[in-house]
Structure 1
Amino acid sequence: MNAALTTTGAEVLARGVTKRFGVRGQPVTVLDDVDLRIAPGEFVSVIGPSGCGKSTLLRIIAGLLDADEGSVAINGEAVPQAIRHKAMGLVPQTPALLPWRSVRDNVLLPTQVNTAANAGRNLLDVDELLTSFGLGKDLRKYPRQLSGGMQQRVAIARAFVFDPPVLLMDEPFSALDEITRDQQRLGLLDFWQSNRRSVMFITHSVPEAILLSDRVVLMAARPGRIAEITEIDLPRPRDESVFLSPQFREYEIRIREGLRRVMKNAQD
């Protein structure tokens, strides 16, 4: 994957983010005073037990949910302005492709929404972008004709069509089998290392988080908050050989121990 992207990453800054949901008529705090900064061009994975609020935090940053307290800024802009400027690309857990549109037309869809914001933008060549994702021969195919891994590549390509400085990924490989998942995350790693964007990546996989990230953020639940942050000081560029590194194993042990602690505390 080596599409010719030009935009550099942008800073993502969340301060004091708190979110509550009503459960049986009572407010439940899902996120409590969360501070998180993603530097321009940094890859940050967020990991934690189910219910810790990691996907909720991503949706607040993406503008899909409003925080009850706190703020989020993308390169100093409030989220609504960042959305208007199409500064963020979102890859959901499932590809969410429209079955009646071809691969090419699914990737073009964001360019046909809010067309007033397109003026003067650097829209990537869709055919070239899809070719860089290994889909150059599949432009006219429909989602039903693609494997799960190929569908997810289409969703990632769609998120990049506006050349956004920020990419938000919510467990994009969770529905894939392990072999396909390995292929997809190595492809994403190669793509990101060639074209640095600021990435927030939600995952339940500790090895995946270590392989991809500059930092791994561990969240605790009840209420959701940041418990630990681990700096991943492994040399780049990386490939699958990193799994054999003793340092990789040390990071894996440290993060798994942190997960056990937060899960035990949630049960106490």
Structure 2
Amino acid sequence: MAGQMKMDTQPAHGDAAEEQVTHPEDRANAGVRIHGIWKSYGTGDTRSVVLEGIDLAIQRGEFVSVIGPSGCGKSTLLKVIAGLTDANGGDVTIDGSSVRSAAKNKMIGLVPQSPALLPWRTVLDNVRLPMKVNRRANGGRNLRSPEDILHSFGLGQAIDKYPAQLSGGMQQRVAIARAFVFDPSVLLMDEPFSALDEMNRDQQRLGLLDFWQSNRKTVLFVTHSVPEAIMLSDRIVVMAAHPGRIASIIDVNLPRPRDADVYATDEFRDLEGEVRSTLRAVMEDQHV
């Protein structure tokens, strides 16, 4: 597998954000609920709308990928859900809680593109790091054993090694393992395999798939790779740009569990054709 650490960041939703969302439908329907999100930068003539009218419901335990052209707001959407940037309008809830409350309770795991492992710490110490930050706030939380997590990720032999002694794929795997220390209910992944070559990338995505199939976390996964989106996902959200919006949602009805043999099936090739055709239409519309 591959990826990056759970970011222990302070959410950026300001005083207007509620600690708990009181909508009963959000409490009854666990997962991620995104209602009417829009985001812009600048003012007046320089104002640029990055996201417009984003509505999306991700069920608990569902794996959803987001794909689309550069500049369509994929990463910005993840930052809004994680509480790292404010939306100008709309609402996000995590298992019925506001983003502020979900972040405070370590319910959100964020995996950026770069592993950002500390080179002077061993693999085990890098995975332990979130547990050592703000120890008082971690009291009473459901913390998972770093050693057990590393073994489950196939990194048991690398516990005492340093990042420089690992391949890029193994570093990404350590970083994803670190995101699981607090056992988050939602994992947000922003192109965690983009820096890897295709062979290593495929190995890591299959590792992630295998691990996810054993625990079924709710995942929102940003990617530029059509095969990656199909192999991993239950649904694929295709976004359009200028402004960023949802153009189409494609169901991936391939049976689970999945392995590398799925690539060779007619069903996989048909889905790949459908996703690529949708992306072409999005790009053509963008340049009209």
Identity %: 63
Residue 64 in 1 paired to residue 73 in 2?
A: no
1:26 aligns with 2:46: yes
Which deviations, in whole Å up to 9, do the C-alpha atoms of 1:228-263 show, x marking residues without a partner? 000111110000111111111111111101100111
**Alignment-mate amino acid for residue 262 of structure 1:** V
Distance 1:233 1:259 in 2: 19
Q: Aligned match of 2:219 in 199, 210, 222?
A: 199
Q: How does 1:63-102 map to 2 (within 5 A)?
A: 63-102=83-122
Pairwise CA RMSD: 1.6
Q: After superposition, where does 1:254-265 map in structure 2 within 5 Å?
A: 254-265=274-285
TM-score under structure 2 normalisation? 0.88
Distance 2:265 2:135 in 1: 48
- Please tell me the residue identity of whatever aligns with 2:59: A
Alignment partner of 2:270 out of 240, 246, 250: 250
Question: 1:123 corresponds to which residue?
Answer: 143
Is the Cα contact below 8 Å between 1:10 and 1:197 reproduced in 2? Answer: no
The alignment partner of 1:201 has SS state of strand
Please say if 1:13 is aligned against 2:33: yes
Do the aligned residues in 2 keep the contact of 1:93 with 1:174 (CA within 8 Å)?
Answer: yes
Are residue 107 (structure 1) and residue 127 (structure 2) matched?
yes
TM-score normalized by the length of structure 1: 0.94
Q: CA deviation at 1:159?
A: 0.5
Measured after TM superposition, the shift of residue 22 of structure 1 is 2.4
Distance in 1 between residues matched to 2:142 and 2:149, nearest whole Å: 13
Instruction: Indicate conservation of the 8 Å contact 1:13/1:38, yes or no.
Output: yes
**How much has 1:23 moved relative to structure 2?**
8.4
Aligned residue-pair number: 261
**Cα shift at 1:10:** 4.8
In the alignment, which residue of structure 2 is the partner of 1:138? 158
Matched, 1:231 2:248: no
Contact 2:237 2:246 in 1 (8 A): yes
Aligned runs of 1:164-203 on 2, under 5 Å? 164-203=184-223
Task: Check whether the contact 2:30–2:96 (CA below 8 A) recurs between aligned residues.
Answer: no
Of 15-24 and 174-183, more deviation after overlay is shown by 15-24
Partner of 1:4: none
What's 2:69 paired with?
A: 49
For residue 162 of structure 1, the aligned residue among 151, 174, 182 is 182
Where structure 1 has 5 or more consecutive residues not aligned to the other structure, the ranges are 2-8
Change (3 A) 1:222 1:183: same
Q: 1:139 to 1:25 in 2, by over 3 A?
A: farther
Q: Among 193, 207, 221, which residue is 2:241 paired with?
A: 221
Unaligned residue ranges in structure 2 (runs of 5+): 2-28
Aligned partners of 1:104, 1:10: CA distance in 2, in Å? 32
